[in-house]
Chain A
Amino acid sequence: MSTLVVLTIAAPLVAAAGGLFWRGNTVARDAITICGLAVAMICAFVVLAEVNDSGTHVVHVGGWQPELGIVLVADLLAALILPVALAVIFVVEIFAIGQRRTVWGANPELSGPLLCVLTSGVSLAVLTGDLFTLFVAFELILVSSYVLLTNQGRPSQIRAGMTYVVMNLFASALFLFGVGFVYAATGTVNLALLTERIPELSDGVRIGLGAWFFVVFGTKAAVFPLFSWLPDSYPTAPTTITAVFAGLLTKIGIYAMIRFHTLTQMDDLGSTMLIIAGFTMVIGGLGALAQSDVKRILSFHIISQIGYMLMGLGLFTVAGIAGAIVFLIHNMPVKTVLFLVGGLIENDQGTSTLDRSGGVASRRPVLAVLFAIPALSLAGIPPFSGFVAKLAVIAAAIAEASVLIVVAALVAGALTLLSMAKIWLGVFWGPPASEITPVSVPRRYQKTMLGATGLAVCGILVISAMSGPLFDLCVRAAEDLKHPASYVSEVLS
Chain B
Amino acid sequence: MKPNQAPAIQLGIRVASPLAIVVGVYLLFAGHNFPGGGFAAGLVFGAVAILRTIAGLQRPRGTTALIACGVLMVTVVSFLPILWGDPLLDQRVVTFDLPLLGTIKTGTALVFDIGVSIIVVGLVAAIINGLSASQPTQGAGQPTQGAPQ
Residues of A within 8 A of B (CB): 2-3, 6, 10, 13-14, 16-21, 23, 59-63, 70, 72, 100, 103, 105-110, 113, 147, 151-154
Known contacts A20-B65, A21-B65; A13/B90 CB under 8 A: no
Beta-carbon contact of B75 and A10 below 8 Å: yes
Q: 10 A–B contact pairs at CB < 8 A? A: A17-B69, A17-B72, A19-B68, A20-B65, A60-B87, A61-B87, A70-B89, A103-B149, A105-B148, A154-B147
> What's the Cα separation between A20 and B62 when bound, in Å?
11
A residues less than 8 Å from B90 (CB atoms)? 62-63
A residues less than 8 Å from B72 (CB atoms)? 14, 17-18, 21
> What's the Cα separation between A23 and B146 when bound, in Å?
13
A residues less than 8 Å from B10 (CB atoms)? none
> What's the Cα separation between A23 and B143 when bound, in Å?
12
> What's the Cα separation between A124 and B31 when bound, in Å?
25
Interface residue from B79, B86, B87, B148 paired with A107 (Cβ < 8 Å)? B148
Within the complex, what minimum Cβ distance (angstroms) separates B119 from chain A? 10
Beta-carbon contact of A23 and B148 below 8 Å: no
> What's the Cα separation between A23 and B144 when bound, in Å?
15
Known contacts A105-B148, A107-B147, A152-B148; A17/B86 CB under 8 A: no
Known contacts A14-B72, A61-B89; A152/B79 CB under 8 A: no
Interface residue from A2, A23, A107, A151 paired with B82 (Cβ < 8 Å)? A2
B residues less than 8 Å from A20 (CB atoms)? 64-65, 67-68, 71
B residues less than 8 Å from A151 (CB atoms)? 146-147
> What's the Cα separation between A39 and B40 when bound, in Å?
34
Within the complex, what minimum Cβ distance (angstroms) separates A101 from chain B? 9
- If A61-B88, A62-B91, A63-B86 are given as contacts, then 6 extra A-B residue pairs at C-beta distance below 8 Å, sorted by A number, are A2-B82, A2-B88, A13-B71, A18-B72, A110-B143, A110-B146
B78 at the interface (CB under 8 A from A): yes
B: contact size bracket: 20 to 34
Within the complex, what minimum Cβ distance (angstroms) separates B25 from chain A? 24
> What's the Cα separation between A100 and B89 when bound, in Å?
36
Beta-carbon contact of B148 and A63 below 8 Å: no
A residues less than 8 Å from B65 (CB atoms)? 20-21
Question: Which of B76, B88, B145, B146 has the most chain A CB within a 10 Å cutoff?
Answer: B88
9 closest A-B pairs by beta carbon, nearest first, are A20-B68, A17-B71, A17-B72, A63-B87, A62-B89, A152-B147, A21-B68, A10-B79, A17-B68
Q: B residues 43-79 with Cβ under 8 Å of A? A: 64-65, 67-69, 71-72, 75-76, 78-79
B residues less than 8 Å from A72 (CB atoms)? 88
A residues less than 8 Å from B79 (CB atoms)? 6, 10
Interface residue from A6, A21, A107 paired with B88 (Cβ < 8 Å)? A6
> What's the Cα separation between A304 and B67 when bound, in Å?
39
A residues less than 8 Å from B148 (CB atoms)? 100, 103, 105-108, 152
A residues less than 8 Å from B78 (CB atoms)? 10
B residues less than 8 Å from A60 (CB atoms)? 87
B residues less than 8 Å from A100 (CB atoms)? 148
> What's the Cα separation between A72 and B78 when bound, in Å?
14
Residue of A nearest to B70 (CB): A17
Question: Which of B89, B90, B148, B149 has the most chain A CB within a 10 Å cutoff?
Answer: B148
Beta-carbon contact of A13 and B67 below 8 Å: no
B residues less than 8 Å from A10 (CB atoms)? 75, 78-79
